[in-house]
Structure 1
Amino acid sequence: MDTSKSYVRDGRIQQKPRGNYFLFSFLFGLALAFVIFVPFMIVDGGRFLFYGDFNVQQVPFYRIAHDAIRSGNIGWNHLTDLGVNFIGSYSFYLLGSPFFWLTIPFPGEWLQYLMGPLFILKFGCASLSGYIYLHRYAKNPNTALLASLLYAFSGYSIYNIFFNHFHEAIIVFPLLLAALDEYMYTKRRGIFALMVAAACIVNYYFFVGMVTFTVIYFFVRLLSGSWHITVKDFLLLALEAVLGLGIACILLVPSVLCIIQNYRVSNPISGWSALLYDRNQRYIHILQCLFFPPDLPARPNFTPDSESKWASLGAWLPMFSMAGVIGWMQLKRRHWLKKMLCVLLFMAFIPGLNALFQLMNASYYARWFYMLTLMMAAATMMALENPRVDWRRSLKWTTLITLAMTLVIGLMPTLTKTDGEITDVTFGLEKYPTRFWTYAAIALLSLALVGFVLAFYNRGSRPFYRAASVCLSITIVLYSVFFIALGKTQSDYTYDHIIPYALNGGADVAIDDLRDDNVRTDFYESLDNSAMFWEVQSIQAFHSIVPGSLMEFYDSIGVQRDVASRPDTTHYGLRGLTSVKYLFDDDHDTEYFAGEDYADPAMPGWMYYGNTNGFDIWENEHYIPMGFTYDSYVTEKDYENTSESYRELLMLKGIVLTDKQVSKWGDMLSPLDTSELSYTKETYKTDCENRAKLTCDTFEYTNTGFNATITASRDVPVFFSIPYENGWSAYVNGEKVDIEKVNVGFMAIRVNAGTNVKIEFKYRTPGLFLGMAITVVCVLLFALYMVLMRTIFKEVPVPLARHNMVLRPLSHYAKKHGAHFENSGIIHVKPRSQTDRALEKKEGFDNDD
């Protein structure tokens, strides 16, 4: 290395950058993403559409949240399922994303055209953040640039195009580590606290994994001797972590209070499940994702029975695969990164350790693998800069492993026996052969490209970096385009339904009261979240985070409610209970709601309305407006003794109350004898008619809840099929009244007899004001902390003029290495002796690493 073009940073000799590599890394990533996404955007008329969750969650969620914020309705969102806590339900998906907030100035109609540009921007930012972390450990900025592209366009990143909101975590994670490094190397205060806050705000789920990783990273480096820290500095670092967490509480507290109601979080891993995966194919899947481009989500190919759909199993580094990692690991020396990689790979294969990245939840996910890919990219970068790495050997090992997996999975015979005799022999364990051999070809051809690039290999040489950059760029573009194109083939709805009928917002549906607040809809065997595209209320919803009371209700009537509400037509009583008036049946499939001749509706009481906007429309003759009343009650005990298949029908006969509520409301209701009740389609019609006799005269949602009016000649309970939550408060004619949780998960209040009685429900997001208070306090404490650090303790980093980089005092290196430096701020270091190298290695600053 030419020392005339070098400087020392954190004890390492690094090459002076020519130009702004921070900007260059961003623009390089941006350009590659532009080439990848723009062709698909052109085909889709300026939009970027993929398949599965991206189409039916990310796109409509952005529109729902965008319009809610622009209208100031950030409390209760009635357009999601039967109603949800807006902040608690959408903070996981997008509320903490700065990219989402970039859309707020634009009209809602533009959202479908902004998804592609936002993705391009995200990949550019991921490349930049990767470079910010990696360049500290690179001797040549070009090597760090290559590594940042490996990270930004890794198999994990491309796989999770399917999950648009995962990329925020990919971007912020390197910044969190870079902030920790800055603290440890230069004692620069405050940055770590801000990055902790940013990581937590962006996504609380991924923040859990980042905390786990950062703790491991900290102690591995500490125990490896590459870091040293005093007790005072350790306590100050812990204080910054706490302050950062506190700053994020404005979003964290309401999110936590919402998510703890979800049944999925109370599923801890234990027993043998914490030691061994119950699916042996999963071990192969984990290994495969390191050496091959990623499978499509929901379409596992190499290991079709690994039960790892949507698990985000992707870690392939474009072109280089595991060659650089294996080369780095083969070095016979100690280094913190080798230990870190060993720990992470070991954790990936042990279920209980893997679960540490998601609070020990038993559901299998590998959604922390972006952290692993960053370490793998760092290892590849260091391998390229270390003359002792035997690239020929590492490339040979990588090729042999890749080829072995290809041949074993692609050609393994499977015997079919009938009555003990072999009747058929098939070859290959994969599910989609053509796709499998394409993946294998990409992986093997990439390794051939590595061999080609290494022909130019000479550390620091321009021909090598040019060849590597060109070949890596080609690999990234081709494999990414193939992945996206393959995914788009899985969505036959894009051009014949989503674009013409979903993204038009239902503009052609001419139903006057479709968007009335007291009207809900049902979508039969249709695209998930169809109602969200139109921004109308519906009982069908594909959304993971909903009120616990809603999940409790569905569980009580035998409807599975995990990631979606999809009650089938056997639960026809549910439609009357939840004020469903219209049903939309997609006319592009063969799943007919009433048969091909429209003569036999799957539920009673539905009348054909017409066809428009790609749907056959049906109207519910047994519709009950929102806010209806009861004459009778059923105790919870009698309810639980009733068959699940009849329970929603029972709720139309009498309101389900606890014993305490019976004593409170018994004066205006009569008890029902459940042993004498009949549950037929005829009695269902009668019960709906009885409930519709006395309902609210008006009902409308507001930015703070909803309002209604009712006229009643006697005292009545008024029932609203809106999920119960602690944030609700109710007022009748201006006086506060108690809200009762009835019918398992919904709300009702007592209304005394009167004309035009005014009912007002107000909603305040639970934990929002507490979170805001904690955030304000922690921001003030953080400001005080920064003042103290710069005044009382007077601990300020020593800057180097060049690029505002923070270094150890220059005298430290002048004394140790006989350095001299010029006015430019560049340190010139004399060639190191063996004694110098031994001293650096002892201190953890060996330049070869």
Structure 2
Amino acid sequence: MPLTSQTQNKGSCRRAFLIALVTAAVIFLPFIIWDKGYFFFYGDFNVQQIPFYKLAHEAVRSGDLFWNWYTDLGANFIGSYSFYLLGSPFFWLTLPFPTSFVPHLMGPLLILKHACAAFTGTLYLKRFVKERDYAVFGGLLYAFSGFAVYNVFFNHFHEAIVFFPLLLVGLEELIVHNRRGVFALAVAINAFVNYWFFIGEVVFVVLYFIIRALSPDWRMNLRRFFWTAFESVLGLLLSMALFLPAVLAIMGNPRTGADELLSGWNLWLYWHQQLYPAIVSSAFFPPDLPSRPNLFPDRGAKWASLSAWLPFVSMTGVIAYVRSKRDWLRRILLVCAVIALVPGLNSIFILFNNSYYARWYYMPILLMALATVLALENRSVDLDKGFRWTLLFTAVVTAILGLTPTLQSDGGVKIGLAKYPERFAATAGIAMLGLLALWLIIRRWRNTRVFMRIMTAALCFVCVSYSITFIATGKTHSDKPDFLRDTALAGRYELELPDDGTFARTDIYHGMDNLGMFWHLPNIQTFHSIVPVSIMEFYPKVGVKRDVSSKPETEYYQLRPLLSVRWLFIKTDDPEQEPMPGWEPRSVQLGYNLYENEYFIPMGFTYDYYITVRDLEEVPEEDRAAVLLHALVLKDEAAARHGDILEYMPKEYYGGLDEEDYYADCLARRETAGYEFTTDNRGFTSRIDLPRENLVFYSVPYDSGWSATVNGQPAQIEKAALGFMAVRAPAGDNVIRFTYTTPGLYAGVLLTLGAALLLVIYLLLWKRYGRTPDDPPRPPLREMTDELAGGEPAAEWEETGAEPPEGGGAPGGGEAGPGASGIDDADGTREGDADGPPEPPPASWFDETPDSGEETQ
């Protein structure tokens, strides 16, 4: 084949990065300008991504890396935020900036993430195509896919999109070119960046490895299998500094328990009839909004990241390639399609959880982009086959959703099945018009030199159009930008609470999710998925639902003093200003009435009586909050240890507690409460004067990372009141110290350091002794390092001084190196190996003789 493998692919990653950077800037800058320097979206982006970045930024800069007091009732900082941002290099880029400026960076970081995804996608794709423009086109398809744009809502999902291609690059480098260490580093990066997505990536890479190993160009043997397994384990060990504490933090979480696993018929059939057409259609239409599905509104998967659409080209190239080829790429795409349609297989990527998620789709999307660019570049692939089926399916689904009549409850008839008809019109219009533009461009310019330039320009235009439509539609469901900017963000610096040195939590009635986190206040109203297991255990046992958020209803008003809640915010225009007894108004700030709890109990207090957990379980759920103020709840073992200082309370003394009992219990608990409670970067110190030896209770979530001393002596921590902590202290003045050490952190760091040393030894030994005569030739490492540095890679013979191989071809005889297709046809040959020009495709809709004045390829 022509000499294109190294020379015509040079600079492709840098080119993809720059085009994606400009395209993403065109998408996001208008919204940043509209929001006066910020980028606001709606839902989780506004109330999780922005405050999480701000909170974590401040915590890291202040060295508060262990226990965080502003996440729910308190949380393991590393465990709670490693899923969202701690492993992300994009988060660490914010550290040089002041905390108040971090919200301004959310939009620019999204622009950068799209550009980086195009870079890494192209880095993988370019090894299979002959010319740079096709690799760039595929990288842009990947970076601006429906999945990527959908997950602007979940800002931290983009890290997985950016770094996943490195896994496949590393695997190809190891197997094809015998280049050691790249795959191990790719494994380490992905495991470190996001442990949860890494679990799904492991499943996909194993699938990729198996199918790819059956193709002739990999020439798999036992030795290569062994070194692949070795580098996999080595890469995981390299990530342990963050991976180990992150995984330990979710062990025991009810959301990962056996009762949350998929089983029975749900393993084989989806439970919503609309989910099947929604899954298939997600590859043919731009994405619906998270939480507001439109094309199939009753599919039961509102936040599932269900989108596999390739902008502009849709499924044209994928279908054409699958119908024309018989190779490993076809096989893996078909296997992925089957996996997507079988619930039990789909759930493998989330450890068989019974919730439906399609959050692994970015992985097959990369291979869909590969199939698309190969179909465009390879003239033996009949694009007409793909285009006809794509157009037919898109048109049929559009007609069904747009024209089906539905009888309404009032006797009228509604035309169309979409929940939001005007949004459906925009979605269908973008899909259909994109296909029309594709048909016109291929028909008019396929045989010209400017073909891929026009295709790339059209792709960027479609990406901008549908992304702006998607984001603008989502913003219609957002809190008002003025509120987010002037109240949520600026309120942190304008609130004035009495500062008497007393630690206290707040409550916000009917407030925006995580508003307390925006204001940097310890707060019981929290929207956060990963909190200590003890919180997840505590709330359900007192009648409060706890799945992805903590929102104790006001009917459980007894929980407020138990949790040391002192301040309550209620909007001034809220008609309900007295939702709970015992609160007095203090001031009006930021449009909220501020109330103080007259029965506030400071952190660290005692009881006179105890009951066991089994006793409490006999009490109706709605009455348990009152009992928790009346008597200390202990496990049987703890009750036996401390029965000498606490009196057991019979059931008749805590049944039917009323409001008067509530007031009396609050006053009794406050009477012996500690006189000082201070927090710091490693835990808290409490001072308390006890009239007698007793257990001192703290409403701090129980966690294995805590250790305690009483007056300098080690003390045993008891799990009390279902999910909190207590320690035994003698009569008199006591200094009680609780210190938190993230479980698994030090062990993880040691494992990472040991693995790094092992990696260095491994690479040195391989460089000296590892190469064997039968190893396949490999292009120079400069090919990738020059891309990263923005330079132009050299051909292998330019790097080594050798002569180019006769007859052209990829360096080393075209062994699936960058520029070689690496795609085997049914007869075992690879596209482009034969001499002479490729055979022209059969006549199709796209055929047209080019104008005489235009050059052809």
- Shorter-chain TM-score above 0.5: yes
Query: Which amino acid in structure 1 is aligned with residue 39 of structure 2?
Result: F
Match of 1:592 in 2: 575
Q: From 388, 397, 414, give the equivalent of 1:396.
A: 388
Provide closer, same or farther for how the CA distance between residues 819 and 390 of structure 1 changes in structure 2, counting only shifts above 3 A.
closer
Match of 1:217 in 2: 208
Distance 2:754 2:813 in 1: 47
Query: Which amino acid in structure 2 is aligned with residue 648 of structure 1?
Result: A
Match of 2:66 in 1: 75
Q: Does 1:845 align with 2:830?
A: yes
Distance 1:558 1:349 in 2: 37
Match of 1:414 in 2: 406
Match of 1:372 in 2: 364
Match of 1:650 in 2: 627
Q: How does 1:327-406 map to 2 (within 5 A)?
A: 327-331=320-324, 333-406=325-398
Match of 2:245 in 1: 254
Match of 1:728 in 2: 706
Distance 1:378 1:244 in 2: 26
How far did residue 819 of structure 1 move? 3.4
8 Å CA contact 1:293, 1:314 repeated in 2:
yes
Match of 1:598 in 2: none
8 Å CA contact 1:15, 1:141 repeated in 2:
no
Distance 2:66 2:474 in 1: 36
Provide closer, same or farther for how the CA distance between residues 319 and 672 of structure 1 changes in structure 2, counting only shifts above 3 A.
same
**Which string of whole-angstrom CA distances, capped at 9 and with x for unpartnered residues, describes residues 724-766 of structure 1?**
01111111111111110011110001110113x2111001111
Gaps of 5+ in 2: 784-791, 815-821, 839-857
Provide closer, same or farther for how the CA distance between residues 555 and 178 of structure 1 changes in structure 2, counting only shifts above 3 A.
same
Match of 1:471 in 2: 458
Q: Does 1:614 align with 2:591?
A: yes
Q: From 661, 665, 675, give the equivalent of 2:638.
A: 661
8 Å CA contact 1:542, 1:563 repeated in 2:
yes
- Determine helix, strand or coil for the equivalent of 1:295: coil
Match of 1:296 in 2: 289
Q: Does 1:582 align with 2:570?
A: no
8 Å CA contact 1:26, 1:127 repeated in 2:
yes
How far did residue 19 of structure 1 move? 5.8
Q: Does 1:194 align with 2:185?
A: yes
Q: Does 1:775 align with 2:752?
A: yes
Q: Does 1:788 align with 2:765?
A: yes
**Which string of whole-angstrom CA distances, capped at 9 and with x for unpartnered residues, describes residues 534-574 of structure 1?**
11101110000111111111111011111000111111011
Identity %: 45
Deviates more, 1:716-725 or 1:614-623: 614-623
Q: Does 1:455 align with 2:443?
A: yes
How far did residue 839 of structure 1 move? 11
Query: Which amino acid in structure 2 is aligned with residue 744 of structure 1?
Result: L
8 Å CA contact 1:294, 1:316 repeated in 2:
yes
Match of 1:431 in 2: 419
Match of 2:516 in 1: 531
- Determine helix, strand or coil for the equivalent of 2:414: strand
How far did residue 424 of structure 1 move? 3.2
Distance 1:537 1:759 in 2: 21
RMSD: 2.5
Provide closer, same or farther for how the CA distance between residues 82 and 436 of structure 1 changes in structure 2, counting only shifts above 3 A.
same
How far did residue 396 of structure 1 move? 2.2
- Determine helix, strand or coil for the equivalent of 1:750: strand
8 Å CA contact 1:261, 1:547 repeated in 2:
no
Distance 1:61 1:640 in 2: 36
Q: From 692, 714, 717, give the equivalent of 1:739.
A: 717
**Which string of whole-angstrom CA distances, capped at 9 and with x for unpartnered residues, describes residues 635-690 of structure 1?**
22221111111111111111011232222222222222222334211211111011
8 Å CA contact 2:217, 2:824 repeated in 1:
no
Q: From 101, 105, 119, give the equivalent of 1:110.
A: 101
8 Å CA contact 1:226, 1:845 repeated in 2:
no
8 Å CA contact 1:524, 1:593 repeated in 2:
no
- Determine helix, strand or coil for the equivalent of 1:792: helix
Q: Does 1:571 align with 2:556?
A: yes
How far did residue 773 of structure 1 move? 1.7
8 Å CA contact 1:75, 1:764 repeated in 2:
yes
**Which string of whole-angstrom CA distances, capped at 9 and with x for unpartnered residues, describes residues 449-503 of structure 1?**
10121134435x43212211221111111111111111111113332x2111110
Deviates more, 1:184-193 or 1:393-402: 393-402
Q: Does 1:689 align with 2:672?
A: no
Provide closer, same or farther for how the CA distance between residues 714 and 141 of structure 1 changes in structure 2, counting only shifts above 3 A.
same
Match of 2:540 in 1: 555
How far did residue 531 of structure 1 move? 0.6
Distance 2:111 2:824 in 1: 45
Q: Does 1:281 align with 2:258?
A: no
Provide closer, same or farther for how the CA distance between residues 91 and 820 of structure 1 changes in structure 2, counting only shifts above 3 A.
closer
8 Å CA contact 1:740, 1:747 repeated in 2:
yes
8 Å CA contact 1:225, 1:844 repeated in 2:
no
Provide closer, same or farther for how the CA distance between residues 234 and 113 of structure 1 changes in structure 2, counting only shifts above 3 A.
same
**Which string of whole-angstrom CA distances, capped at 9 and with x for unpartnered residues, describes residues 249-307 of structure 1?**
11111111111121111222111101000001001111121111000000000111111
Match of 2:685 in 1: 707
Gaps of 5+ in 1: 8-13, 595-600, 830-836
Q: From 19, 36, 41, give the equivalent of 1:45.
A: 36
- Determine helix, strand or coil for the equivalent of 2:643: helix
8 Å CA contact 2:319, 2:385 repeated in 1:
no
Provide closer, same or farther for how the CA distance between residues 430 and 477 of structure 1 changes in structure 2, counting only shifts above 3 A.
same
- Determine helix, strand or coil for the equivalent of 1:229: coil
Query: Which amino acid in structure 2 is aligned with residue 455 of structure 1?
Result: R
Provide closer, same or farther for how the CA distance between residues 549 and 92 of structure 1 changes in structure 2, counting only shifts above 3 A.
same
**Which string of whole-angstrom CA distances, capped at 9 and with x for unpartnered residues, describes residues 571-616 of structure 1?**
101101001011112346xx4332xxxxxx1111111222111212
Query: Which amino acid in structure 2 is aligned with residue 747 of structure 1?
Result: M
How far did residue 417 of structure 1 move? 7.2
Distance 1:532 1:841 in 2: 58
Distance 2:382 2:484 in 1: 52
- Determine helix, strand or coil for the equivalent of 2:293: coil
8 Å CA contact 2:329, 2:823 repeated in 1:
no
Q: Does 1:541 align with 2:526?
A: yes
Distance 2:90 2:718 in 1: 40
Match of 2:854 in 1: none
- Determine helix, strand or coil for the equivalent of 2:698: strand
Distance 1:839 1:204 in 2: 34
Q: Does 1:506 align with 2:492?
A: yes
Query: Which amino acid in structure 1 is aligned with residue 296 of structure 2?
Result: T
Provide closer, same or farther for how the CA distance between residues 282 and 799 of structure 1 changes in structure 2, counting only shifts above 3 A.
closer
Query: Which amino acid in structure 2 is aligned with residue 465 of structure 1?
Result: M
Distance 1:570 1:777 in 2: 53
Q: From 184, 201, 205, give the equivalent of 2:175.
A: 184
Distance 2:823 2:327 in 1: 15
8 Å CA contact 1:585, 1:592 repeated in 2:
no
Match of 2:476 in 1: 489
Structure ranking higher on relative contact order (CA contacts 8 Å, 6+ apart): 2
Distance 1:805 1:276 in 2: 52
Distance 1:769 1:294 in 2: 43
Distance 1:753 1:344 in 2: 66
Distance 1:808 1:215 in 2: 34
Provide closer, same or farther for how the CA distance between residues 739 and 46 of structure 1 changes in structure 2, counting only shifts above 3 A.
same
Match of 1:94 in 2: 85
**Which string of whole-angstrom CA distances, capped at 9 and with x for unpartnered residues, describes residues 509-535 of structure 1?**
221239x56200001111000011111
TM (norm. structure 2) is 0.91
Provide closer, same or farther for how the CA distance between residues 43 and 792 of structure 1 changes in structure 2, counting only shifts above 3 A.
same
8 Å CA contact 2:10, 2:132 repeated in 1:
no
- Determine helix, strand or coil for the equivalent of 2:700: strand
8 Å CA contact 1:505, 1:535 repeated in 2:
no
